[in-house]
């Protein structure tokens, strides 16, 4: 096996859409340095074999084992027996070093190892009891079969997405008469991502440096091998273009999807700055107000305070970033939606901003407030929010000004939600008549919005004309119907199997 | 797996008290992000414009990220320094802004600020140069504990960034 510490042996990852026509050559040659010690029949031993994808090539050991039908226990082995008999008639080439293992063989090997362990256990037990007659016995057939089914099933289920192919070499069998199998190449094809990974990576040609094969019991035999994709089927150039870096390939299971019927709204916001405010130092407090059906994943992020910024040329840079992940649960809100539900885009959370001034004496006073609704459209949004503060009376009387100048502080709203649409408001017409206020300044914020839901990922092609929000409720409904259908089919299948067993 | 390419440049800076400036920049991401290729931080040369009011750096940015989630979207962090005629460099501003979440070409203006010290610090700064710096730069990244920080408005840094997103739509992410 190529040593994994070897620097030039790396996993190659290729994107290819059709694997069935894929062929590659593996070339093995014994290096010359070791030739003075050799006691073999042939002098310069080398072998080249053309493999096509998922082609099973048998080793000499397997040929000799499986050609006898008595050795074949499982249906897989019997199948191999058939294949070997057929190929034997055509060609008599049973001295190859190279052969291949496929997924069932790898599963089988694991099984074999398990059985061997079991066997050892049994024989030792027998010896202890004094009843052992020396011949190891296979464990009970029923036991074995059940374990076969079990392990085969479970492993297959977990790796059904993948096709595996091991290119093996067995030099020891021909030279020393005993098997010494080594893995040369491990190939894995991911049918979902259409990605082939090869360890070690393909060589350019067989004349360059190859991978050395180490770890054979006969240390005098040094082998070098190359693996080259067959040019006629798999153009080298094309392959190079499609080579991916290893980190780039993630399985889609890794992607964090929101639950079904749930929409995540990611808000990446920035409070950029404030302008036109009277006082020298200002800072901004902000908080988020969530309507029914909404929640914030990280509660800490839903409010915050910026640093105190000094105004220069009428502008104060705040440059405060915040990140929020808001979750809208469609199913929960539809359950208690007896009253008329507002449009989803209308019921987005609101951000309230409160600009606070700080004068040179350390007196704090609210300088203005404003609000912005989280936009229901993904993308980058800039807001220039006009701020205002309430006044005691409308006249710009000198007493007011003097009071503010000397005592500091200003009247402020008891309930911040009055700033936008008050919480207690019901009815058709909102009137704020009678509230006296004065415009103070402007707040500049920027919100980056990303909408994320499961529904848009599957069925969006035909509905690309409509906006995300238009189709979100309909699609989540459709999906819940689909889920119910699936559950029903599954239950029916269970019932049917139960009936047949009875 | 969704991928993000950020290709562009740090164009320059404007509105700073003096023009001989250089800038350190770095990209910050959340946990689920992986840098595939490219450099995620750098430092520009010192540019001292003679005719123009804008300091130009034209420092390239070319980064390729892959991610398994939207959380922790890349942010770009800048530190602008002034390099004076005596070879001293003093801090002129910290800035932080999000990389736009929509694909396409974007012009970004990143506002910067500088911490302000006491009267004594400012007096010393006036005559000797230098100035207070943040001891723990975490304050810039988190933004939660900035409450007690007193800052002063500085100029802005300009970016020209092209954003390419891949596979986001496949996972139901509307960008």
**Contact between A175 and A221 (Cβ < 8 Å):** yes
Pick among 2.60.40.150, 3.30.70.3280, 3.50.50.60, 3.30.70.100: CATH of B2-114+153-171: 2.60.40.150
Nearest to B68 among A256, A449, A468 (CB): A256
E strands, chain B, where? Answer: 2-14, 21-28, 33-37, 41-43, 55-67, 75-83, 89-98, 104-115, 150-166, 173-174
- Give the Cα separation of B37 and A58 in Å (integer): 42
Nearest to A457 among B36, B147, B170 (CB): B170
Closest chain B residue to A300 measured between Cα atoms? Answer: B144
**Choice between A49 and B73, residue whose per-residue pLDDT is larger:** B73
For residue A46, the number of C-alpha atoms closer than 13 Å in the C-beta half-sphere is: 13
Nearest to B174 among A255, A319, A450 (CB): A450
The residue count for chain A: 502
* Residue A185 distance to chain B (closest CA, Å): 26
Phi, psi of A5 (to 5 degrees): -80, -15
* Residue A467 distance to chain B (closest CA, Å): 10
| Domain chopping of chain A, boundaries | 1-33+45-57+96-124+160-255, 262-333+341-422+431-453
Cα-to-chain-centroid distance, residue A180: 38
User: Residues 76-135, chain B: which have Cβ within 8 Å of A?
Assistant: 94-98, 100-102, 106, 110-113, 116
Contact A321 B143 (CB under 8 A): yes
Cα-to-chain-centroid distance, residue B34: 20
B57's CB contacts (< 8 A; 6+ apart) are B9, B10, B11, B12, B13, B22, B23, B44, B45, B47
Class of domain A262-333+341-422+431-453: mainly beta
Strands B150-166 and A308-310, by their bridges, are parallel
pLDDT of residue A145: 34
E strands, A191-339, where? Answer: 195-199, 211-213, 223-229, 243-244, 262-275, 281-289, 294-296, 303-305, 308-310, 315-329
Q: In what order do the strands lie in the sheet with A195-199?
A: A98-102, A162-170, A181-190, A195-199, A12-15, A243-244
* CB-CB neighbors (< 8 A) of B148 in chain A: 307-308
A477's CB contacts (< 8 A; 6+ apart) are none
- Give the Cα separation of B99 and A161 in Å (integer): 36
| Domain chopping of chain B, boundaries | 2-114+153-171
B144 contact A CB<8A: yes
What confidence tier does B161 reach under pLDDT thresholds 50, 70, 90? very high
B150 contact A CB<8A: yes
Residue ranges of alpha helices (H) inside A214-328 are 236-241
Nearest to A378 among B66, B146, B174 (CB): B174
pLDDT in tens, chain A (502 residues): 343 333 345 667 777 777 777 788 888 877 655 444 444 444 456 778 888 888 888 877 777 777 777 777 777 788 888 888 777 665 555 567 788 888 777 766 665 555 555 545 444 444 443 333 433 333 333 333 333 333 333 334 444 667 788 888 776 655 555 666 777 788 887 777 777 777 777 777 766 777 777 654 444 566 777 877 775 545 544 455 555 544 445 555 556 677 777 888 899 999 999 988 888 889 999 988 888 888 888 777 788 888 888 888 888 988 888 888 888 886 654 444 444 455 676 778 889 999 988 887 778 888 888 999 898 888 899 999 999 888 776 566 677 777 777 877 677 777 777 777 777 777 778 888 877 888 889 999 999 999 888 765 444 444 444 566 666 767 677 777 888 888 899 999 989 988 887 7
If we measure between CA atoms, which residue out of A60, A40, A158, A174 comes closest to residue A110?
A: A158
**Contact between A123 and A135 (Cβ < 8 Å):** no
Residue ranges of alpha helices (H) inside A274-362 are 330-335
Closest chain B residue to A251 measured between Cα atoms? Answer: B1
A309 contact B CB<8A: yes
- Give the Cα separation of A81 and A79 in Å (integer): 5
pLDDT tens, residue by residue, B86-118: 888 888 999 989 999 999 999 999 999 988 888
Phi, psi of A114 (to 5 degrees): -60, -45
What's the whole-number mean pLDDT along residues B19-31?
90
Nearest to A247 among B36, B100, B111 (CB): B36
pLDDT of residue A160: 61
**Choice between B82 and A423, residue whose per-residue pLDDT is larger:** B82
Q: What is the pTM of this model?
A: 0.60
């Amino acid at each position: 096996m190529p040593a994994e510490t070897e620097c030039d042996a790396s996993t190659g990852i290729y994107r290819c859409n059709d694997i069935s026509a894929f062929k590659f050559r593996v070339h093995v040659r014994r290096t010359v340095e070791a030739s003075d010690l050799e006691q073999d029949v042939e002098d310069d031993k080398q072998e080249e074999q053309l493999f096509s994808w998922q082609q099973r090539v048998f080793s000499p050991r397997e040929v000799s084992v499986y050609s006898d039908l008595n050795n074949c226990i499982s249906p897989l082995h019997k199948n191999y027996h058939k294949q070997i008999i057929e190929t034997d008639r055509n060609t008599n080439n049973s001295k190859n070093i190279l052969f291949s293992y496929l997924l069932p063989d790898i599963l089988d090997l694991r099984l074999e190892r398990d059985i061997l362990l079991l066997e050892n256990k049994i024989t030792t037990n027998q010896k202890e009891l004094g009843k052992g007659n020396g011949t190891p016995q296979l464990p009970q057939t029923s036991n074995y079969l059940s374990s076969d089914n079990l392990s085969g099933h479970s492993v297959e289920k977990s790796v059904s997405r993948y096709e595996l192919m091991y290119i093996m070499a067995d030099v020891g069998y021909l030279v020393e008469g005993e098997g010494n199998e080594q893995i040369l190449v491990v190939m894995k094809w991911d049918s979902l991502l259409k990605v082939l990974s090869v360890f070690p990576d393909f060589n350019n040609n067989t004349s360059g440096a190859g991978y050395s094969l180490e770890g054979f019991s006969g240390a005098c035999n040094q082998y070098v091998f190359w693996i080259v994709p067959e040019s006629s089927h798999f153009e080298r150039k094309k392959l190079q273009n499609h080579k991916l870096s290893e980190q780039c390939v993630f399985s889609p299971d890794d992607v964090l999807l929101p639950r079904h019927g749930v929409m995540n709204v990611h808000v990446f916001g920035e409070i950029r700055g404030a302008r036109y405010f009277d006082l020298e130092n200002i800072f901004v407090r902000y908080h988020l107000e969530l309507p029914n059906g909404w929640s914030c994943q990280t509660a800490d992020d839903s409010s915050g305070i910026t640093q105190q910024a000094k105004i220069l040329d009428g502008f104060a840079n705040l440059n405060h970033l915040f990140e929020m992940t808001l979750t809208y649960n469609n199913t929960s809100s539809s359950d208690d939606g007896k009253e008329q539900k507002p449009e989803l885009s209308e019921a987005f959370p609101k951000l309230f901003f409160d600009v606070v001034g700080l004068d040179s004496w350390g007196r704090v006073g609210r300088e203005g407030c404003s609000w912005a609704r989280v936009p229901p459209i993904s993308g980058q949004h800039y807001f220039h929010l006009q701020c205002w503060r309430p006044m005691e009376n409308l006249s710009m009387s000198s007493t007011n000004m003097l009071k503010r100048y000397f005592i500091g502080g200003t009247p402020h709203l008891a309930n911040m939600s009055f700033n936008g649409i008050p919480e207690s408001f019901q009815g058709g017409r909102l009137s704020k008549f009678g509230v006296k206020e004065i415009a103070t300044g402007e707040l500049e914020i920027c919100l980056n919005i990303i909408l994320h839901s499961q529904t848009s990922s599957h069925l969006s092609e035909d509905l690309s004309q409509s906006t995300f929000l238009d189709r979100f409720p309909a699609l989540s409904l459709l999906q819940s119907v689909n889920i119910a259908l699936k559950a029903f089919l599954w239950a029916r299948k269970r019932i049917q199997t139960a009936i047949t067993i009875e | 797996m969704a991928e993000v390419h950020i290709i562009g440049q740090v164009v320059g800076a404007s509105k700073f008290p003096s023009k001989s400036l250089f800038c350190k920049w770095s990209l910050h991401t959340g946990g689920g992000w992986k840098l595939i290729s490219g450099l995620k931080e750098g430092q520009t040369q010192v540019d001292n414009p003679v005719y123009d009011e804008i300091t130009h750096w034209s420092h390239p940015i070319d980064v390729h990220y892959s991610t398994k989630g939207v959380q922790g979207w890349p942010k770009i962090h800048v530190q602008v320094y002034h390099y004076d005629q005596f070879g001293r460099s003093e801090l002129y501003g910290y800035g932080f802004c999000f990389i736009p979440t929509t694909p396409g070409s974007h012009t970004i203006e990143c506002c910067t600020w500088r911490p302000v010290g006491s009267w004594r610090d400012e007096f010393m700064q006036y005559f000797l140069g230098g100035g207070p710096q943040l001891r723990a730069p975490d304050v810039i990244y988190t933004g939660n504990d900035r409450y007690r920080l007193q800052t002063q408005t500085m100029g802005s840094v300009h970016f020209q960034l092209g954003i390419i997103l891949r596979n986001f739509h496949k996972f139901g992410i509307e960008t």
